[in-house]
Amino acid sequence: MYKMKTLVAIAIMAAGFNCTAQNKPATNDVQKYLDAYTKAYVKLYTQEQEAQWRSNIEILAKDSSNVIAARKADEAMASFTGSIENIEKSRAYLKRTTLTPLQKKQLEFILYTAANNPQTIPAVVKERIKAENEQTQTMYGFHYHLDGKDVSVNDIDNMLKAEKDINRRFHIWEVSKHVGIPLKKGLINLRNLRNQSVQALGYSDFFSYQVSDYGMTTNEMLALNDQLMRDLYPLYRELHTWIRYVLAATYDQQQVPDYIPAHWLPNRWGQDWSSVLDVPGMDLDGALKHKSAQWIVKDAEQMYVSLGFDPLPATFWKKSSLYPYPDDSAVKKNNHASAWHMDMNKDVRSLMSVEPNAEWYETAHHELGHIYYYMTYSNPSVPPLLRQGANRAYHEALGTMMGLAAMQRPFVYGRGLIKPDPKAAQIDSILPLLKEALNTVVFIYFSSGVMTHFEKEMYADTLPADQFNKRWWELVKKYQGIVPQGERGENLCDAATKTHINDDPAQYYDYALSYEILYQLHNHIAKKILHQSPHATNYYGHKEVGDFLKKIMYPGASKDWRQVLKQSTGDELNGKAMVEYFQPLYKWLQQNNATRNYTLPEHMGD
């Protein structure tokens, strides 16, 4: 999964604007205030993004100049957005009954943003900003050592996908967790500072603050995520049973474990199991290994252009950081793929470390989904303060949907990456579906289950710091059915090895909800627009698909997210489309697992 940079999490914006032209007449005091606020915000946001960009692409040991510059830019933004004047004015204006819907939404944005940076407690806000920047540097400046050599996270990921020796796998997996040790102290401090920041404006805790951006309470958000897991649980239980037996055979283990050893899986957090399965006739890694990393990104751009979107601006190619640094480079960078909007105008960038393989091919299509979302809701009808996704999950839904669409067999054949197998009709159509479920369905139990519940407990329940690792692994076992080999003591902090825990906090449920939205949108595109099977679609060249996407993207956050979904698909948010999509796989797994021992309870929560 891939995040957008959210140091000001709710301020992901896009292109040019003219406040007065958007909200005529701009003669009343509310509109004058909004215009003045927006002008100042744009300037500070641009400065902040530039500073954070440098801090993420130029990480040097013992050189804190970029960290200091980023911190100062963050402090300037916080001082403005959280000013007492902005708090008081936005509160007062929101009491008026004569506001237009757009004015009301912008004022709510201003007050929500102020709650993260309240200048009623400036020392706490300043300390939190300092701590966040230091945590980022610790995380991405960390050197992983394996067998006396420096290795990158890409190296670790590739080894976990390929290594067959079980003891060697454990050693690699354990190395991937070393970064959690220096991050724990900073995470404890950030938990406290984040809670204190938002409590100053009446929020009970930072988790509740983040959830409120959906217009929901913490309990409502937990209930929504738990319902999604219950909807998919019969399928997840089948997948869990299937992979236990497959992995035991892969590693030549006579005993099939009741719970999956964490180091047996091809992903550091067990959130994606898909690489254990090769689909005949779909060797995309083999097809891409002779391509360049540059080709991967350009081909992703071509998909969007074929749907009727404009080519990416020249500045994207000039200013983005798309490819990995050499292994021996003294300069490090944030190794997590992300999409950035720099100036609320034409400066859009992506931070990736693209290599010519299937994972990065999917990721490139995903990240450009964010970029094209920025570019589309940057239009005169949407005030700059509302140039965001309909909600945070929409950005991920659209990006992930485009990534998955690029992996479907008809699309890959159509792009000429793989030639249709003469025996294609004989290839089991279930296998591509199984591979997809090992990614998307499996991910739900990490995102809705482990991450969402851990961060809720960490912020809302003030989970004691000496129980972080214990509780993390209890949740991993409960929701994912995964266990570590041996004890994982409290000197470690395995939760902190996940990027988002540190610098994209208390909103990982965005990804889970994005899958619900994704399958609802994809189901509509396949059945209502393309008249194709949802399991075998090809978006490429269909401008009617682009038109459908543009209608969703265009309003940004100026329309309620529930309304956007209802108008797009005719339905409210639910897991029905996702359950229906994988129904053929569920029946297949039941047959294949008929003689196997199930170890997860029959019903979730038993």
DSSP states along 542-576: -HHHHHHHHHHHTTTTSS-HHHHHHHHHSS-S-SH
Q: Which residues does 139 contact at the CB level (< 8 Å), separation at least 6?
A: 179, 183, 499, 502, 503
pLDDT of residue 423: 65
Structure tokens at 282: 């779909």
Q: Give the CA radius of gyration of the chain.
A: 24
pLDDT of residue 421: 73
DSSP helix/strand/coil, 14: coil
Beta bridge partners of 339: 350
Indicate the helix (H) or strand (E) that contains 145: strand 144-146
Taking each helix axis from N to C end, the angle separating 430-444 and 509-524, rounded to the nearest 10 degrees, works out to 150
Predicted TM-score of the model (pTM): 0.89
> Given the structure tokens 């500045």, which residue do they identify?
315
Peptide bond into 25 cis (omega under 30): yes
Q: Which residues does 374 contact at the CB level (< 8 Å), separation at least 6?
A: 12, 13, 14, 15, 339, 341, 348, 387
pLDDT of residue 105: 97
Residue pair 295/369 in contact (Cβ under 8 Å)? The answer is: no
CA distances from 46 to 39, 50, 53, 172, 333 (A): 11, 6, 10, 40, 20
Indicate the helix (H) or strand (E) that contains 3: none
Question: Which of 390, 380, 408 lies closest to 281 in space, CA to CA?
Answer: 408
Residue 350 sits at φ, ψ, to 5 deg, of -130, 145
CA distances from 172 to 55, 157, 178, 262, 558 (A): 28, 9, 10, 11, 47
pLDDT of residue 288: 97
pLDDT of residue 345: 80
Residue range 1-142+179-593, CATH number: 1.10.1370.30
pLDDT of residue 424: 55
User: What does pLDDT average to in each consecutive run of 10 residues of the chain (606 residues)?
Assistant: 36 38 59 97 96 94 91 96 97 95 97 96 96 93 94 94 97 98 98 97 97 97 97 98 98 97 98 93 91 98 98 98 92 92 90 95 97 95 95 95 94 93 66 94 98 98 98 98 97 97 96 96 97 96 98 96 95 95 97 97 89
Residue pair 481/604 in contact (Cβ under 8 Å)? The answer is: no
Report d(CA 107, CA 386) in Å as an integer: 10
Task: Indicate the residue type of 549.
Answer: L
pLDDT of residue 469: 98
pLDDT of residue 26: 42
Question: Which of 352, 137, 161, 134 lies closest to 268 in space, CA to CA?
Answer: 161
Indicate the helix (H) or strand (E) that contains 311: none
pLDDT of residue 327: 85
Q: Which residues does 583 contact at the CB level (< 8 Å), separation at least 6?
A: none
Residue pair 139/456 in contact (Cβ under 8 Å)? The answer is: no
DSSP helix/strand/coil, 277: coil
